[in-house]
Amino acid sequence: MPIEHVAATTGSERIAELLERDGCCVVDRAVDPALLDAMRAELGPYLAATPLGPDSFSGRRTRRTGGLIARSPIARELVQHPLVLGAVKATLRGATNFQLHLTQIIAIGPGEPCQPIHRDQWAFDLFPFPKGYEVQCNTLWAMNDFTAENGATRLIPGSHRFEDRLSFQERDTEPAEMGAGSVLFYTGALYHGGGANRTSAVRYGLNITYARAWLRQEENQYLAVPRAIAKELPLPLLRLMGYARGAYALGYVDDLRDPIDVLLPGAGASGLGDFARAERQARRGGSGSA
Ligand SMILES: O=C(O)CCC(=O)C(=O)O
Ligand SMILES: [Fe+2]
């Protein structure tokens, strides 16, 4: 099954439909590639200082640079891209709210073999989430052109409906080839992996992922973003980063305080979340709209 490509003018509902159908899709040239070049320039010293990965999953010839909210104003824009947030909300329907899961530049260096094919949701101790119930929605922005030779992400379209804990090889997958500025969407249940880089140049991908707010975040935003920086960020971004309750009660502070209130005294809502709404959504079992 080919990986479906759509134009940047496509609405988020259509992207969510494709994610439901195939578990993945590519939006061609969703942003001007110059924006991603500027982001790479912003992050230059951090990219240079990032060590290679410690194992074959992280990639011994791959550098993973995170903390992007703290380090890159352009990342703050991309994290809140309206098309992405609309598609994530529709894909994670039924959740009271969702949050940023991680921000990471994945720089796959020459000579890196194909990453083991996996589901990102295996990060949650391999918990067997029900088929068709997505807990995570991912984006991978091509910072330079992604080709089959330089390490374009390898995917098995439709595999979000497969059984869990299956093993696949590179030959079972298809490369998400796309031009710089394009964005690949894929769900937490889709089998995929970073591609082998058989060229002499680095492949740069910007991975921004989102998950239901009742799950632990992969990147710890409270520690990755120093408080002095966080205090200056806009409220919607802070909410997305996790300065919010997950569902009705998760993550409150001391006397049932909204976590945003600790960072910005007076900004929070009083008491807990909306119990009636949270209960309604929980009873719908995640099948209703968020
Ligand atoms: O870099 C890529 O293309 C994908 C990487 C990936 O799937 C992962 O690190 O979980
Ligand atoms: Fe992955």
Q: How far, in Å, is the centroid of ligand 2 from the Cα of 116?
A: 9
Q: How far, in Å, is the centroid of ligand 2 from the Cα of 287?
A: 25
For residues 91 and 85, the answer to whether their CB atoms sit within 8 Å is: no
| Nearest Cα residue to atom 10 of ligand 1 | 120
From the CA of 207, the nearest ligand is 1
Tokens of 201: 């140049």
pLDDT of residue 127: 98
Q: How far, in Å, is the centroid of ligand 1 from the Cα of 129?
A: 21
What percentage of the chain has pLDDT greater than the value 70?
A: 96
* Residue among 73, 68, 99, 72 nearest 224 (CA): 68
For residues 270 and 253, the answer to whether their CB atoms sit within 8 Å is: no
Which residues, chain by chain, have CB under 5 Å from ion ligand 2? Answer: 120
Pocket of ligand 1 from Cβ distances under 6 Å: 106, 115, 120, 140, 153, 192-194, 205
Per-residue pLDDT reduced to its tens digit, 253-268: 999 999 999 999 988 8
| Nearest Cα residue to atom 2 of ligand 1 | 194
Tell me what the pLDDT averaged over the chain comes to: 95
pLDDT of residue 12: 98
pLDDT of residue 219: 98
Helices 82-91 and 12-22, axial angle in degrees (round to 10): 40
For residues 24 and 138, the answer to whether their CB atoms sit within 8 Å is: no
Ligand 1 atom with least separation from CA of 106: 1
Q: What pTM, to 2 d.p., does this model score? A: 0.94
Task: Return the best residue to mutate from 115, 117, 136, 182 for the ligand 1 pocket (most ligand atoms within 8 A of CB).
Answer: 115
pLDDT along the chain (290 residues), means of 10: 97 98 98 98 98 97 98 98 98 96 98 98 98 98 98 98 98 98 98 98 98 98 98 97 95 94 86 72 55
Tokens of 58: 């992280």
Kindly list the structural domains of the chain, giving each domain's residue range(s) and its CATH number in brackets, ordered by start: 5-212 (2.60.120.620), 248-285 (no CATH)
Amino acid at 262: V
Q: How far, in Å, is the centroid of ligand 2 from the Cα of 180?
A: 20
* Residue among 65, 57, 62 nearest 102 (CA): 65
pLDDT of residue 286: 52
pLDDT of residue 288: 37
* Residue among 207, 86, 188, 192 nearest 139 (CA): 207
pLDDT of residue 290: 37
pLDDT of residue 280: 75
Q: Mind spelling out the 3-state secondary structure of the chain?
A: CCCCEECCCCCHHHHHHHHHHHCEEEECCCCCHHHHHHHHHHCHHHHHHCCECCCCCCCCCEEEECCHHHHCHHHHHHHCCHHHHHHHHHHCCCCCCEEEEEEEEEEECCCCCCCCCECHHHHCCCCCCCCCCCCEEEEEEECCCECCCCCCCEECCCHHHCCCCCCCCHHHCEECCECCCCEEEEECCCCEECCCCCCCCCEEEEEEEEEECCCCCCCCHHHHCCHHHHCCCCHHHHHHHCCCCECCCECCECCCECCHHHHCCCCCCCCCCCHHHHHHHHHCCCCCCC
Rounded to 5 degrees, what are φ and ψ at 172?
-85, -5
* Residue among 73, 65, 59, 66 nearest 110 (CA): 59
